[in-house]
Amino acid sequence: MVRNKRFLAIIPARSGSKGIRDKNIKEMNGKPLMGYTIDACKIAGFFDDILVSTDSKIYQQIAIGLGAAAPFLRPPQLSGDQAASGDVILHALSEMKRLGKEYDYFMLLQPTSPLRNEEHILESVKLLFEKEADSVISVCPYDCMCYLSVTITETGEMKAPDSLKKQIRRQDAMSGCRINGAIYLASVPSYLKYGDFYSGKTYPYFMNPVDSIDIDDTSQFYLAKLILRDRADAVVN
């Protein structure tokens, strides 16, 4: 599937985190959070390099100990809350090129999606080649059916939901999809040309809501922790 193509995994793991302190290295069932993403990349088995992009020497050492590469640190301007993921990607590609390494494709994998595993990674790459796509982005269904979604006007008034106006039954309401943040896969030439994942030929890779959990607060952290522990126990038993 990936023969003669060079792939880079980019795992962005800055040290600053407001919701959970040091979230990306916080232990989850005995493993630093970013370890789940690193392990998924290693098991997938086709990445030429698994790169952790971080601003922290401590994170850098942990990443290397987990089997990833971390040959450089991010500059301060790419390490704050407002740092754009696109700039982080371009910095990673540029630094790896400076080290003599160039790639055909890269996959951005946020460490805050620990339930995204090697099967999801492999399936997204398969989809990329099947569709001859420039990029693939993971999505999942809305967490609700949006039956009672409303419109707020410029004056602050609320309009009745369309479902009530049209007498749509709750079970017939259409649900949508949202980007879940787990997988962003792109051709390097396409990304360098357009500067984003959406301007070329882009396809969605569908994931279920549970595997799409993106950790932003303590409740999401412990939910993911319990799910992973339950899955590990199921394998053992």
- Greatest pairwise CA separation for the chain in angstroms: 62
For 24, the domain range is 7-142+177-236
Q: Confirm whether 152 is domain-assigned.
A: no
43 or 171, greater pLDDT: 43
Q: Confirm whether 169 is domain-assigned.
A: no
DSSP string, 100-155: T---SEEEE--TT-TT--HHHHHHHHHHHHHTT-SEEEEEEE-SS--TT--EE-TT
97: domain CATH number is: 3.90.550.10
**Residue from 205, 206, 191 nearest 105 by CA:** 191
Each residue of 67-123: pLDDT tens digit?
999 999 999 888 877 778 999 999 999 999 999 999 999 999 999 999 999 999 999
The one-letter amino acid code at 179 reads I
In which band, very low, low, confident or very high, does the pLDDT at 141 lie, cut at 50, 70 and 90?
confident
| Lowest pLDDT segment from 29-38, 66-75, 131-140, 167-176 | 167-176
Q: Confirm whether 167 is domain-assigned.
A: no
Q: Confirm whether 189 is domain-assigned.
A: yes
Checking if the pLDDT of 18 tops 70, the result is: yes
Mean pLDDT in residue range 195-214: 94
**Residue from 31, 101, 109 nearest 66 by CA:** 31
**Residue from 157, 158, 141 nearest 149 by CA:** 158
Question: What is the average pLDDT score of the chain?
Answer: 89
pLDDT of residue 82: 75
